[in-house]
Amino acid sequence: MVARGRWRGAQHLIKHGRVRWAITGRSLLLPVQYAAFPVALLVAWQVCAQIGFIRRNVLPAPTDVALVWFDLITGATDAAARYSGTWLDHAAASIWRVFTGFAWGVALGILAGLLIGLSRVMERVLDPTIQVLRNIPVTAWVPLSLVFFGIGNAPAVFLIGLGAFFPVAVNTTHGVRQINVTLTKAARMMGANQRELLFRVILPGALPSVMTGVRLSMGIAWVLVVVAEILAVRSGLGYLLNDAYLFYRNDVVIAAMLSIGILGFVSDRIVIFVRNHLLEWNRLDTFGGQN
Amino acid sequence: MARISLRHVGKTFAGRQGDVAALAGINLDIVDEEFISIVGASGCGKTTLLNLLAGFDIATKGEIIIDGAAVAGPGPDRGVVFQQTALFPWLSVEENIAFGLRLRANKHKGSPDKIVERMLERTGLAAFRSRRPAELSGGMRQRAAIASVLAINPSTLLMDEPFGALDALTRSIMQDFLLEVWEEERKTALLVTHDIDEAIYLADRTVVMTAHPGRVREIIQVDLPRPRRYEMRSEKRFIALRDHVTAIVRDEAIRGAVEMRTSATADVW
């Protein structure tokens, strides 16, 4: 009887809600749900390093990384030696590159996506080229962009922009294409001119898809900034990571990795925040909008 | 003097197996403030005809004159109510109603705020003004769509099966709502529908169309007094009209089906 009751309950949950949350329910405190996995990971890592399972200069303990990280940022203890207190400059350099490259890539991507989505002629002119270039991994552009732009910010910003361009262009095209034709008909019927049609119907209608592209682009931008900084510039978290690797400072390497992870995560949250703000309407009739 | 006049209107679409005539030899005169309904079996070109009047499509033969000028494209003098509700999902009800008024083409039509207020009042949507279309029922959505079209004050109202997606009860309520609005605003109205009761109940004249190609088979004068009331649907005169129209539409639908079958067989051999 008990088992049967539970099964009914499960059926009810499968029918009426997202199963994975429903099963754990609210019985576990939220902070515990969030903290359990990362804490377990850190503890396991600490234990591995502590008992000498892995040599400490190969895999430094979380506590070592934390100390080095603290010095990287503040320059207070000299634990990071030659890198002491350099974190802010490196982080700022990376963030600047990511957002500059991202900005031009997204802007051109939206422009190209609109052109291809709105005009069959532009589709024939632009789309085949974009589809071929899209399949070249952006990292394959590194040698050419170094030759072309030299060492410095330019190749980094170029690569990041290139990486950001394709997802936005493809998703914008898709967004424009899936706009309900009745809406454009209604706007024309009410007397909308081309400009009004673009800004009041096409752009808002394509926005959910555009934002999907923008989010993908942000992820790619953080990958490419590290690639560019390892190869093309002498600043930024990617440079710090590679330089520390050459000096066998794995604690600094890990601190740099985690810094990139956190900054990437924060960037993604910013994109999501902007998206949710712009697309509040889109949550109403989609699955993602249900709690 | 007719406000809207269709002369020998024909429309042919280029198909993969040659041209397909959707409409041929349509003649129709519509006077100011008249309510015309168009019925016919599916595929008889009634939506094509409405698209020509709206200006979304251009006739391949003949001409359509509205207020003395040939139709060259869509415009705010002809408001269209679509079957698939044309509300912008990112705008609230009141923003949707104001949409047309905020366009340059309608700047001269007065303060959007005042007109929106009046439309919300008239359509009973005042309490739902800040809702998004996704938060409305089907009937309320179509009310909002009608309000957004009426807001730009078109002289002609074109409706393409506006209540086709609604359940029977909501549909009959919406028909009375439409009549009520029309009695007040008095526009030239043209309604395309496959619902024969609706076609008779709302219209001054009902145009019955035939298929392949679409032609006018018969124009029926609906001599029921106005304002119309729901009870009229069970009166003798209404039933007689309905039976008459039903007989023609059924006859056409069956003939169409037979034709299709024979032409399909011909294709096979």
| Residue extents of the structural domains in chain A | 87-289
CA A86 → CA A76, A244, B123, distances in Å?
A: 11, 12, 65
Quote the minimal CA–CA distance from B11 to chain A in Å.
Answer: 20
Chain A residue with CA closest to B86: the answer is A183
User: In sequence order, what DSSP letters do the residues of A134-171 get, joined into one string?
Assistant: HTS-GGGGHHHHHHHH-SSHHHHHHHHHHHHHHHHHHH
- Specify the residue for token string 């926005």: A207
Alpha-carbon distances of B71 from A188, B58, B159, rounded to whole Å: 14, 8, 17
Cα–Cα distance for residue pair A107/A224, rounded to 1 Å: 18
Distance from C-alpha of B116 to C-alpha of A289, rounded to nearest angstrom: 29
- Residue B27 zone, left/alpha/beta (φ > 0; ψ -120 to 50; rest): beta
pLDDT at residue A113, rounded to an integer: 97
Chain B nearest-CA distance from A84, in A, is 50
The confidence score (pLDDT) of residue A290 equals: 41
Query: What residues 46-105 of chain B have any CB closer than 8 A to a CB of chain A?
Result: 54-56, 73-76, 78-80, 82, 84-86, 88-91, 99-100, 103-105
Query: Which residues of chain B fall below pLDDT 70?
Result: 1, 260-269
- Cβ–Cβ gap A190/B134 under 8 Å: no
User: What is the per-residue pLDDT across B139-171, written as a single tens digit (0 to 9) for each?
Assistant: 899 999 999 999 999 999 999 999 988 888 889
pLDDT at A29: 83
The reply to whether B179 falls in a domain is yes
Task: Write down the pLDDT at residue A133.
Answer: 96
Domain that includes residue B245, residue range:
4-77+154-268
- Report pTM: 0.83
- The domain that holds B264 is classified in CATH as 3.40.50.300
Q: What is the ipTM of this complex?
A: 0.87
A241/A235 Cα distance (integer angstroms): 10
Q: What is the pLDDT of residues A8-64, one digit of tens each?
A: 545 554 555 555 555 555 667 888 889 999 999 999 999 988 888 878 778 899 999
| B-proximal residues of A, 166-205, CB under 8 Å | 180, 182-183, 185-193, 196, 200-201, 204-205
CATH superfamily of A87-289: MetI-like (1.10.3720.10)
The pLDDT value recorded for residue A171 is 97
| CB nearest B86 (choices: A186, A204, A285) | A186
**Residue A3: its pLDDT value, please?**
46
pLDDT at A11: 53
Residue spans of chain A under pLDDT 70 = 1-27, 284-291
